[in-house]
Amino acid sequence: MAHALTPPTEVAPPRAEAASRPATRGVPVYEAVQRQFEKAANLIQLDPAVRKILSAPMNEIVVHFPVRMDDGRVELLTGYRVQHNDALGPFKGGLRFHPALELDEVKALAAWMTWKSAIARLPFGGAKGGVQIDPARYSHTELERITRRFCYALGNNIGPEYDIPAPDVNTNAQIMAWFLDTYQALQPPQDRQRHMHVVTGKPVDSGGSLSRDKATGQGIVYLIERWANERRSGLSRATFTVQGYGNVGSWAARLLARHGAKLVAAEDVTGAIANPQGLDTEALAVHVRANGGVVGFARAVDHETFFSTPADIFVPAALANQITADTAPMLNVRLVAEGANGPTDPEGDEVLRRKGIDVIPDVVCNAGGVIVSYFEWLQNKQSEYWALEEVDRKLHAKITAAYDRTRDTARQRRVDWRTAAYIVALSHLETVYKQRGIFP
Ligand code: NAD
């Protein structure tokens, strides 16, 4: 199919899968999220009925859908949408394109979204989804048809007041624009304009919010600043490393650099680089856009050297299960600020605790994305556009409140911050279930 319109934003450049990286071992992510849940639930003696409800997702949707390729062949692709819980509001969570995506991982990611929304006190539940593909294998037009056909396959399982997707790994504002357009095209003409908020993370010209592209990275940096201020050590002389230089990692790195902090090593799917004198974060972002990865920008180092690089802060912003019993012992940092979802498995967590490394857990640290998605959703519902400063000010207020809730709970209960974050989420959900009861 020929496309007359030139897309306003490009889909992320193809990335090769990590062939040279040692396979990450670690606790399977769904088991990890269940273990974290059980630990917090036991500590607060969570109501048994609420515990049963929250221990499994509400809906698990698997779709197989055909897509015609540029050469005329048809591929049958598999897509997922897991809706974990909607006690607090409509299901909300990203869509990712990844060749290793499978149902259990999506279930874990959906549960994390429930906890995240609850901790940030957003009127959203948790969901996650995606398509099991390596996007590097597909052309721009094929990715468009995959996105549109996936949206069609999901049908009424999504909706602006029911389940609202957003970008995640290997998806971006362009994918959201195609998703919106397809969803709108499937509505009766007189209803179309009521559905702008069916996805968030759209391009700003197509109803997106200012600041959404940087929101997750911005939220991480607001919390690192708060952590540093509480320890009376500013960021101007801090050093940091980052894993993943996509949306989250590159924004976190560039915003940290604006505070004077120095990036000393970076790793992504193509390999790792380091420079103790500091890497230019803006130039690195340009390099990644042009070349599909960090490799080639500075001296190459191996995975172990990357993990052992001494720094004040490590921002994992790639995939799950990166900080494990194998890699955590190598870390030589004061803080792990989790940009990715599930970057630390329970065994890695134990090592970090023993080493006295602070952790701002994912469900708090990367909540900036869903917080600004909520602002985008509100703006669309009210046909408003907020100024960038307004979005950033409101993001700061919401995410630092989530941080403070977690820190205070950790102190009161004498538990680590991840357990504290889960306690904040589960207590809120328990209150809501107790107030409403269980139908019938
Ligand atoms: P992205 O696709 O823009 O970037 C992903 C990055 O991870 C790329 O730099 C890629 O090279 C790197 N990567 C992939 N496989 C890797 C491997 N095996 N080893 C090292 N690096 C690898 O995705 P993103 O949106 O930046 O998401 C990154 C993480 O942040 C994910 O865990 C995602 O769930 C989480 N997250 C994203 C958002 C958001 O708003 N985009 C919000 C909250 C959490």
Residue 434: which CATH number?
A: 3.40.50.720
Residue 280 lies in domain: 211-440
438 in the same domain as 416: yes
Confirm or reject: Cβ of 284 under 6 Å from ligand 1. Answer: no
145 in the same domain as 104: yes
Residue at 398 is within a domain: yes
Our count of domains for the chain comes to 2
176 in the same domain as 223: no
Catalytic positions, written as ranges: 128
103 in the same domain as 235: no
Best of 113, 268, 336, 375 for a ligand 1 pocket test (most atoms within 8 Å of beta carbon)? 268
CB atoms within 10 A of CB 332: 15
303 in the same domain as 185: no
Series of mean pLDDT values for 10-residue runs along the chain (440 residues):
39 42 72 96 98 98 98 98 98 98 98 98 98 98 98 98 97 98 95 93 98 97 98 94 98 98 98 98 98 98 98 97 97 98 96 98 98 98 97 98 98 98 98 96
pLDDT of 366: 98
pLDDT of 84: 98
268, 244 Cβ separation under 8 angstroms: yes
Residue at 420 is within a domain: yes
Residue with tokens 């908020």: 197
Q: Which of 198, 229, 253 is the last residue of a domain?
A: 198
- Report the C-alpha gap between 310 and 239 in whole angstroms: 8
87 in the same domain as 132: yes
324 in the same domain as 231: yes
Distance between Cα 341 and ligand 1 center (Å):
9
268 in the same domain as 373: yes
158 in the same domain as 306: no
Residue at 434 is within a domain: yes
Residue at 405 is within a domain: yes
Ligand 1 atom 14: residue of nearest CA: 269
Residue at 204 is within a domain: no
280 in the same domain as 404: yes
Best of 92, 168, 175, 374 for a ligand 1 pocket test (most atoms within 8 Å of beta carbon)? 168
105 in the same domain as 163: yes
- Report the C-alpha gap between 176 and 186 in whole angstroms: 15
83, 156 Cβ separation under 8 angstroms: no
Residue at 294 is within a domain: yes
